[in-house]
């Protein structure tokens, strides 16, 4: 009889212990709209941008868009910015970390200036800013292979004119670049560049 009651006691304590764990996650459902795949994971903590898609590891959302945060990640996920949760979870291509500082953007006039630059001039203007920023962020060692790849692309233009006449407008252009994140600088530089250069940037994102 004593044995039976001790067995019941241990069963009860096991039940109490199991009761402390959350119930199993609901099954994965297809998205109701669009044809963009299935849900990576349910939204475990709506409104908490730090833990939207990977409940097993709150510090790391584990989705491709968050790689390299805060300097090298993608734009913030709009679902999380709006205070909700992202149903794409670990497959989302936007950043799932909180972004406190707004990234610098080019205004309309500056975008026109950029359009008028040759690829060679654009690289000559952007690369020193990328290098400085990588240095400031303590990422210069990891960023060096990517910087070398872009310098190689710049050399492929041979003796093409690199310099742009310095005026007040160009100085403001430089000031905007000096406030940009590495990801935004890279986005502008990579647009006209080779697939290889784009792959070198993806390798950098995975290495930080
Ligand atoms: Zn981010
Ligand atoms: Zn998302």
Residue 90 C-alpha to ligand 2 middle, in angstroms? Answer: 8
Helices 119-136, 140-155: inter-axial angle, 10-degree rounding: 170
Nearest ligand by distance to the CA of 85: 2
Cβ contacts of 155 within 8 Å, gap of 6 or more: none
Residue 95 C-alpha to ligand 1 middle, in angstroms? Answer: 5
Nearest ligand by distance to the CA of 95: 1
Q: What is the pLDDT of residue 108?
A: 96
Cβ contacts of 4 within 8 Å, gap of 6 or more: none
Name beta bridge partners: 76: 95
Residue 156 C-alpha to ligand 1 middle, in angstroms? Answer: 33
Cβ 49 vs Cβ 78: under 8 Å:
no
CB count in 10 Å sphere of residue 15: 9
For residue 131, how many C-alpha atoms fall within 13 Å in the half-sphere facing its CB?
Answer: 13
Task: Please state whether the peptide bond connecting residue 63 to the residue before it is cis, i.e. omega within 30 degrees of 0.
Answer: no
In whole angstroms, what is the distance from residue 86 CA to residue 90 CA? 9
Nearest ligand by distance to the CA of 99: 1
pTM of the model: 0.71
In whole angstroms, what is the distance from residue 208 CA to residue 195 CA? 21
Residue 129 C-alpha to ligand 2 middle, in angstroms? Answer: 29
Residue 37 C-alpha to ligand 1 middle, in angstroms? Answer: 23
Q: What is the pLDDT of residue 208?
A: 87
Domain positions in the chain are: 37-101, 108-207
In whole angstroms, what is the distance from residue 181 CA to residue 165 CA? 25
Residue 193 C-alpha to ligand 1 middle, in angstroms? Answer: 24
Give the pLDDT means over successive 10-residue stretches in the chain (208 positions). Answer: 53 44 38 31 47 52 92 94 91 92 90 94 96 97 97 90 87 96 96 94 93
């Amino acid at each position: 009889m004593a044995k039976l009651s001790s067995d019941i006691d241990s069963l009860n304590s096991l039940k109490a212990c199991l009761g402390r764990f959350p119930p199993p996650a609901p099954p994965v459902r297809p998205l109701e709209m669009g044809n963009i795949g299935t849900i990576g994971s349910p939204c475990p903590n709506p409104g908490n941008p730090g833990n939207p898609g990977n409940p097993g590891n709150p510090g790391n959302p584990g989705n491709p868009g968050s790689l390299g945060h805060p300097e090298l990640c993608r734009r913030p996920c709009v679902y999380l910015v709006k205070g909700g949760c992202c149903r794409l979870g670990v497959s989302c291509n936007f950043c799932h970390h909180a972004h406190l500082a707004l990234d610098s953007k080019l205004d309309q006039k500056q975008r026109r200036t950029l359009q008028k630059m040759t690829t060679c001039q654009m690289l000559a203007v952007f690369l020193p800013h990328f290098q400085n920023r990588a240095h400031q962020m303590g990422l210069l060692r990891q960023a060096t292979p990517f910087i070398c790849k872009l310098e190689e692309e710049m050399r492929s233009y041979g003796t093409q004119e690199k310099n742009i006449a310095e005026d007040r407008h160009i100085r403001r252009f430089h000031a905007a670049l000096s406030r940009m994140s590495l990801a935004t600088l890279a986005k502008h530089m990579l647009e006209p560049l080779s697939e290889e250069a784009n792959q070198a940037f993806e390798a950098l994102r995975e290495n930080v």
